[in-house]
Structure 1
Amino acid sequence: MAATGEASVVELRPWHPHAWGLAAVGAGLVGVVAGLVIALFVQRDDLGPYRYHLWRWQAETLPTMLVQVTGLERRPSEEEQRRAIEAYFALTSRIRAELDRPQPDLTLVDALVRERAAYEGTVEFAIRERVTKAIEASGLPEPLPLFRDVRVVWPPVAFELTSPPQLLVVSPRARIERERNVLLKDGLTLGEIEAIEAKTDTADRVSIVVPLGGVAAYPAIVRDDRSYASMLETAAHEWVHHYLAFYPLGLSWLRGAEGEILNETTANIAGAKLAQVATQLFPTELPPGADGSAPMRPPPAIDFRAEMRALRLEVDRLLEEGRISEAEAAMEAKRRYFVEHGIFIRKINQAYFAFYGTYADQPAASSPIGPKVERVAELSGDVGTFLRLMRTVRSERDLDTLLAKLERAAGR
């Protein structure tokens, strides 16, 4: 359904930021101070040495972020941006290829990382601008509260390329639920990860440490060692979280699993679509082996999505019936099956599904929310309309109501 056809179906209200929205920047500064106080005076648990403190990240990047969002930084030329992108992602491919070897030369890797750092700022600028232009082209800029004729991208696209933290996820054994999440420092060894998981696991709780592609702090944390296409999509994904924070959908995150699934699925879909718009606006041809991707491997002989989806449904059924040990045996058997077919997954347990199931458009999910949000995106016609419709959704019930209206309009 085209964007122009939605006005008669769903009311698209103009942007009137609430007081809490306008106070977000001040709240961020308060958060930095509060984080410092907590870190200095509160001993939380034995994960202390491994914890990642987000307030420190925000404090360290605040000056750079202010320069970015106020437009005071130097603007690289188009040629500078092109050269930086080519060099940065060619170096990333070389780094990933070296690390993929049985015995990588870590001295060489360190040298390549240092060389790549010279291009980082220009690449950040280029991707930030490309995502911003995609947002503008999608009709998402909003009028300023006191200057209705001035429309801006809000919040401004802001991110830093770096190694993101890892995430400790804890779930009950008897059901799949993100009961606890703890950000951990990046660069943990396998031994440290396994020790953390062993300390966290109990008779009725299981855990897993998972890597993150990005974190929707402000500025966002975006992984620095991925392909150009992946980086573009992650930057857009994290901006969608920033955008939704000013609307009912973003606030629904605080209400538990349903809100998390709605937000992550919407950000996954909208982030991918904004990245597609950016790619159309800024065609970028990077040769294979120099686009930041990992070394090519033969495609697996199995359908990973179908196998993982079937496993999730089986585990849901077994847990519903109280057959916990059988569910865990099924997960381990499938993990070994994946490894035998060239797909390495270190651990599959309830916490694994609790994390990856949050993204309801992914094979590890079993929530019906994913197909519904995908259908809204299909009927919306474009990413701008999709986000303006989804931002008012507070629950799956709201989603069902919205989808019913769109389906009726599509059937006319």
Structure 2
Amino acid sequence: MVRILFTVQEVLQRTIFLLLLGLVLSRSDGLFTDDYDRVRAFVRRDEFEYVQWVLNALATKNTQAALDAPRYLSLEDQKQAVFRYLDLVARIDGLNREVATIYADPAVKDPETASREKRTELEAAQAEEARLGPLAESILQAQVSTVLASLGLTTGGQPLPPVLYRVTPLPYALIVSPRERIEQEANISLVPGLSLKERIAIEEKVARSLNKSTLVVGIGGVGVYPTMVQSTSDLNWLTEVVAHEWTHNYLTLRPLGMLYDASPEMRTINETTASIAGKEIGRAVVARFYPEKLPPEEVPAPASPGPEKPATPPSFDFRKEMRITRLQAEALLAEGKIEEAEAYMEARRKVFWEHGYLIRKLNQAYFAFYGAYNDTPGGGAAGEDPVGPAVQALRQKSASLAEFLNTIARVTSFEQLQQMVK
């Protein structure tokens, strides 16, 4: 009986995987405008290949499902396994920093010899991570699924699609916007591991050749299936991103997700919805299974990657100042003052830098990317964009997260969403 149930689940996962893969690829095909293809021509050598990654990840997930290791562990043992994994990730991050410091120290004449002990420790820790990581993923997948069931977001107790994620080095995203306005014209995934020098070279090549605003950004996750999630030792951030990317999978099977690239407004609706759901679901997972790790509700972890904040933020309202920056930049662009707008954004970038916000480049592409994550009142990088507030209003109007997701999943245009919140 157990084998029969597993076979049904395996078939379900494979069927959903094929459907999701087809939808994602067909959605991407819709992006191939002349501008998009012109951008891709500059980065084909560095473009990330999703299909092979997904096939490999699915094979790994099938092996994990066959073992079903979490079923043989108590809830306390599951918790401790996740904690050991997160501690291991933190140790690996620390060892990587120590090795990098040794190689960068001009006083160290033979960095290879000086770092040998640390590199040996690092290799051992990475081997342990490779062993423990799949178990931690399986446990967190099951815990997120349990919370989804408690929130009414399952069919027959099973999330559709099933929660599947893989911690992996993430691709970078090349964001391209026109210089004369803020609008994402292209978002092209680039291979992980590109150096800062290589990323800047790509930005400058595309910007110079096509007269565009460009930015290569790091991301926290990708909503393919299984989803891609960045390695982290932060449990709250991890559960939030897993839930955020699962929400994209959920929406991809429904009208809202299928129309992700239909317009900038539909993209913002999708991303804001996933951000809202990711925060609520992720927090519920931590509250249920790891209550001692639950942060104060007023300081949730971000669902999308952004500029690093100082450990103790100064008296500087980042969201307010970023909103002011976008509004003024848009006003200048509307008057056709492109160079003046770009000079203003660079001057403002220096202000943010002086207050501890390490923003490498602040331009039209920056706002085109970060402005789509508009789940918090106040606007921030979204400025006065009305789309995010409309999504927030629908969530406030909905009695539950399930009602909100089931309602917004049917949205096919911003105008329809506006009618819903009247």
Separation of aligned partners in 2, 1:163 and 1:98: 17
Aligned partner of 2:68 in structure 1 is 73
1:216, CA displacement in angstroms? 0.3
Name which of 401, 404, 408 aligns with 2:419.
401
Greater relative CO, 1 or 2 (CA 8 Å, sep 6+): 1
Q: CA offsets per residue over residues 56-97 of structure 1, 9 Å max, x none?
A: 1112112123345x6653325134322222222223334445
Q: Verify: 1:139 aligned to 2:156, yes or no.
A: no
Q: Is the 2:179–2:211 contact (alpha carbons within 8 Å) kept by the matching residues of 1? A: yes
Query: CA separation in 1, counterparts of 2:253 and 2:309?
Result: 40
Matched, 1:51 2:47: yes
**Is the Cα contact below 8 Å between 1:32 and 1:55 reproduced in 2?**
no
Contact 2:79 2:289 (C-alpha < 8 Å) held by counterparts: no
Q: Matched residues, percent identical?
A: 35
Query: What does 1:304-343 align with in structure 2 at a 5 Å threshold?
Result: 304-343=318-357
Instruction: Give deviations 1:361-396, integer Å, cap 9, x for gaps.
Output: 261113111111112112213211111111111111
Could you say which residue in structure 2 is the equivalent of 1:116?
129
In the comparison of the two structures, how many residue pairs are matched? Answer: 366
In structure 2, the residue matched to 1:301 is 315
Deviation track 1:124-176 (CA, whole Å, cap 9, x = no partner) reads: 1121112111110111112xxxxxxx452100001101121110011110011
Secondary structure of 2:261's aligned partner: helix
Paired residue type of 1:334: R
Which moved further from structure 2: 319-328 or 207-216? 319-328
Q: Which runs of 5+ in 1 are unaligned?
A: 1-21, 36-43, 143-149, 405-412
Unaligned stretches of 5+ residues in structure 2: 1-13, 29-39, 104-114, 296-300, 303-307
Cα displacement string for residues 88-113 of structure 1 (whole angstroms, at most 9, x for unaligned residues): 22233344456667963585474444
Matched residue, 2:89:
92
Aligned to 2:171: 165
Instruction: Please give the TM-score of this superposition, normalised by the length of structure 1.
Output: 0.80
Superposed, 1:168-179 pairs within 5 Å as 168-179=174-185
The two structures, once aligned, show a CA RMSD in angstroms of: 3.2
Q: Does 1:228 align with 2:246?
A: no
Cα displacement (A) at 1:360: 2.0
> Which residue does the alignment assign to 1:364?
381
Structure number having the greater helix percentage = 2
Distance 1:368 1:98, change over 3 A: farther
Kept in 2: contact 1:169–1:351 (CA 8 A): yes
CA distance 1:49–1:271, change in 2 (3 Å)? same
Residue number in structure 2 paired with 1:41: none
Tell me, in whole angstroms, the C-alpha distance in 2 between the residues paired with 1:30 and 1:302. Answer: 45
User: Who is 1:8 aligned against?
Assistant: none
Which residue number corresponds to residue 381 of structure 1?
399
Q: Distance in 1 between matches of 2:142 and 2:181?
A: 43
Q: Is the 8 A contact 2:23 2:258 kept in 1?
A: no
Distance 1:239 1:249 in 2: 14
Q: 1:407 maps to what in 2?
A: none
Cα separation, partners in 2 of 1:387 and 1:28, compared to 1, 3 Å: closer
Could you tell me which of 150, 153, 157 is aligned with 2:159?
153
Task: Give the TM-score normalised by structure 2.
Answer: 0.78
Residue pair 1:58, 1:219 contacting (<8 A) in 2 also: yes
Could you tell me whether the CA contact under 8 Å between 1:335 and 1:345 is conserved in 2?
Answer: yes
The answer on 1:280 being equivalent to 2:287 is yes
* Distance 1:250-1:287 versus aligned 2 partners, 3 A rule: closer
Cα distance change of structure 1 residues 67 and 114 upon mapping to structure 2, 3 Å threshold: closer
Matched position secondary structure for 2:343: helix
Letter matched to residue 298 of structure 1: T
Give CA deviations for 1:211-243 in whole Å, capped at 9, x if unaligned: 010000000001112511000000000111111
Q: Which moved more, 1:55-64 or 1:256-265?
A: 55-64
CA distance in 1: counterparts of 2:341 and 2:25, whole angstroms: 44
